[in-house]
Amino acid sequence: MYDIVVHSPDFRHWPASVRFAARLAADTRAGLTGLYVAAPTSSLAGPPHLVQEALAYAQDELQQAMLAGPAFASWAAALGVRDARWQVALGAVAEALVLAGHWHDVVVMKGNPPPCSIEERPVLETLLSGVACILVPAAAFSPGRVAHAVVAWDGSPASNRALHGALPLLAAADSVSLLQPPPEPRARRPLFDPLAHLRARGIAVAHVEIVPESGESAGEHLLASAADEHADLLVLGANGCRRPGGCSFGATTRAVLSQSHLPLFLRH
């Protein structure tokens, strides 16, 4: 893990997702970029005097956000981050995160977006763009070090990409558990064996569990298993699709996203 970018919805204090990203960057000796996205003001409408007031307020907020860089760098350095930077973008949150994700290894964001909500849209757009994301629940204490990780692998391309993207974190973990579906009856050897893949890379797999369910029930099973294992991170593929007029997550992904109490490493 070389470069981490974290979306900070505020520049006056650092929420749980930002604290997690800073501690993760310190633990993995990665660079950290804090990203604040300000809403554009070109679409403001209304009485001229109110528009002028709103513009003045927005400009003041933008100026203060741009001046927050030294405070962010100092705060991150106190947590052990060697290289911390601060960026301010103007526009849509999803577009800024996708762009930043293309030149970072992982995007850290606030977790538990309500299904089909405005908060879910940036998560959906960022993940469906192919960017690797870590979603951190606001209410959970997340130390930022991955001592024990659980990998949920279901044979899909998304779960393969998630497993591959999380390899640096899994290699640094003390132990890893693997959740996978029942083996399909077949005469030939499977094309990809996640257990063998992990062990061949020196990753200690302490426990393997079969998850027979699918859909929302599978999501609940994954979260229950991760809780039983006292995991610091759950790694899984994010299933979703784009349709005319919108896009959406699969049932398992949505259940995990909305209910998780631990950080999630996701990749579509």
How far apart (Å, rounded) are the C-alpha atoms in residues 26 and 185? 45
* Domains located in the chain, CATH noted: 3-136 (3.40.50.620), 148-267 (3.40.50.620)
- State residue 249's pLDDT score: 82
- State residue 240's pLDDT score: 78
pLDDT in tens, 80-112: 999 999 999 998 999 999 999 999 999 999 999
Is the pLDDT higher at 140 or at 164? 164
As a whole number, mean pLDDT of residues 194-199 equals 92
As a whole number, mean pLDDT of residues 6-13 equals 94
How far apart (Å, rounded) are the C-alpha atoms in residues 166 and 19? 20
Sorting pLDDT into bands at 50, 70 and 90, what band is 226?
very high
Sorting pLDDT into bands at 50, 70 and 90, what band is 134?
very high
**Residues whose CB falls within 8 Å of the CB of residue 156, separated by 6 or more in sequence, listed in order:** 237, 239
Question: Where in the chain does DSSP place strands (E)?
Answer: 3-7, 31-38, 84-90, 106-110, 133-136, 148-152, 175-180, 205-210, 233-237, 240-243, 246-249, 264-267
How far apart (Å, rounded) are the C-alpha atoms in residues 34 and 42? 25
Sorting pLDDT into bands at 50, 70 and 90, what band is 211?
confident
From the centroid of its chain, how far is CA 34?
A: 14
pLDDT in tens, 20-68: 999 999 999 999 999 999 987 666 566 776 656 666 667 888 899 999 9
- State residue 246's pLDDT score: 60
